[in-house]
Amino acid sequence: MDPSSHPRASLPHLLGTIEALINCESPSADAAAVARSADLVARIGTALLGRAPRRIDGIHLLWRLGDRPGRVLVLGHHDTVWPVGSLATHPYEVRDGVLRGAGCFDMKAGVAMAFHALAVLGEPGGITLLITGDEEIGSPGSRGVIEAEAAGCAAALVLEGAAGGGALKTARKGLGRYVVRALGRAAHAGLAPGHGVNTTVELAHQILRTDALADPARGTTVTPTLLTSGASANTVPADGEFAVDVRASDPAELARVDGALRGLQPVLGGARLEITGGPDRPPLPWSASAGLYDRACRTARRLGLAVPAAAAVGGGSDGNLTAAAGTPTLDGLGAVGGGAHGPDEHVLIDLLPERTALLTALTADLLADPCDGTNSGATIGVPRP
């Protein structure tokens, strides 16, 4: 079967798959919801690929297609950031060429595309399809599986949504996650506030110190996020904490910020600090994607499609892990749209067929010649993002 034509003819079927996935809510932290989603993903994949997956920890699904060792890893996730009940305000909807629904762009559409693209190839040798259920919380349970499956592969193709304008994601920042906790002493806020050690005030000092660790010139962001402190409005708080999100393209920058956060010292007398967390995902460098990006551009030209641009982005994905395992990695091969994690999350329907065709043809090309350019560190005639 022609891998470049079938996805165009099956758009209604593809949309039906996306709708089913969206309507099965799967917030990462809701174990029951993610398990229900894994059941659905397994049924859909079994129907389209002709074989059942191996289930890992109940929520991660692994298909091996063909009898030969896996040469191409196709990677996605079925969990989302949207809590159960979000469909009441963000239901599946198609209007004026735009598909909407909680988790549609990140990344229910990408999961559907993977199934339909690989189904076209029939019985290909050397493909591993891995759909995980905990990517949105940092892949704590699937990280080892991802790294093990990526090791030795010629390529990892990641079905996260495209960057702006349909660009492929050829570089990602590394990231770290931390919690800065302050411990003080409670006291009555009206009768004896001076007897307490106020963790809200201590955290305010530490938030400003943390924020100052960012280096915009190097593209390093250090962002204090979720903040809690105290137990009641009339009590000097004795316990509080804030989360910190760190993003950097340079591993040395991640190390610098890590050392600075761990070196924070209390400002208030009697206060104590506890710093937990650390670097979570290493950067995905351009060098890990350049050869595959070049192949994707050649494949797009062969199919008569617009050649996708290359983009470096701040968000992390499981592509960071496959690149760190030494596997050439191309990310952002999923749907074209935007608004991930927000009220405007959407997918452009007109581009779904050609993106699926590109994925199918690129996978087939890698199966035919897995060593053609996947490890090159530069791309002729293509600007570095």
Task: Name the active-site residue from 19, 106, 134, 135.
Answer: 135
Q: Which fold has domain 180-281?
A: Alpha-Beta Plaits (3.30.70)
Superfamily of domain 6-173+283-368: Zn peptidases (3.40.630.10)
CA–CA distance, 251 with 174 (Å, rounded to integer): 7
pLDDT at 152: 85
For the beta carbon of residue 234, count every other beta carbon within 10 angstroms.
10
Task: Give the helix ranges, DSSP H, for 238-313.
Answer: 251-262, 286-303
Under a CB-based contact definition with an 8 Å cutoff, are residues 14 and 68 in contact? no
CA–CA distance, 172 with 313 (Å, rounded to integer): 5
Under a CB-based contact definition with an 8 Å cutoff, are residues 28 and 137 in contact? yes
Task: Name the active-site residue from 19, 25, 79, 134.
Answer: 79
pLDDT along the chain (385 residues), means of 10: 50 96 98 98 96 97 83 96 97 97 98 96 86 96 97 95 97 97 97 97 98 97 97 97 97 97 98 96 96 97 96 94 97 97 96 96 91 49 48
CA–CA distance, 183 with 306 (Å, rounded to integer): 56
8: part of which helix (H) or strand (E)? helix 6-9
What angle separates helix 31-49 from helix 11-22, to the nearest 10 degrees? 160
CA–CA distance, 102 with 186 (Å, rounded to integer): 42
CA–CA distance, 333 with 16 (Å, rounded to integer): 20
List b or e across 278-309, with b for residues whose CB sees 16 or more CB atoms inside 10 angstroms. ebbbbbbbbbbbbbbbbbbbebbeebebeebb
Q: Which residues contact 2 (CB under 8 A, 6 or more apart)?
A: none
Domain ranges of the chain: 6-173+283-368, 180-281
CA–CA distance, 278 with 138 (Å, rounded to integer): 12
CA–CA distance, 356 with 377 (Å, rounded to integer): 26
Instruction: Output the CA–CA distances (angstroms, integers) from residue 93 to 40, 247, 270, 293, 332, in the order listed.
Output: 20, 34, 55, 32, 23
Instruction: Specify the DSSP class assigned to residue 27.
Output: B
pLDDT at 69: 67
What one-character-per-residue DSSP string does 62-97 give?
EEEESSSPP-EEEEEE--BSPPTTGGGTS--EEETT
CA–CA distance, 376 with 385 (Å, rounded to integer): 16
∠ CA 240-243-244, rounded to 5°: 140
The verdict on whether 135 is a catalytic residue reads yes
3-state secondary structure 302-355: HHCCCCCCEEEECCCCHHHHHHHCCCCEEECCCCCEECCCCCCCEEEHHHHHHH
Tokens of residue 165, six digits? 């304008």
The verdict on whether 30 is a catalytic residue reads no
For the beta carbon of residue 68, count every other beta carbon within 10 angstroms.
12
pLDDT at 70: 65
121 CB-side CA count, 13 A: 26
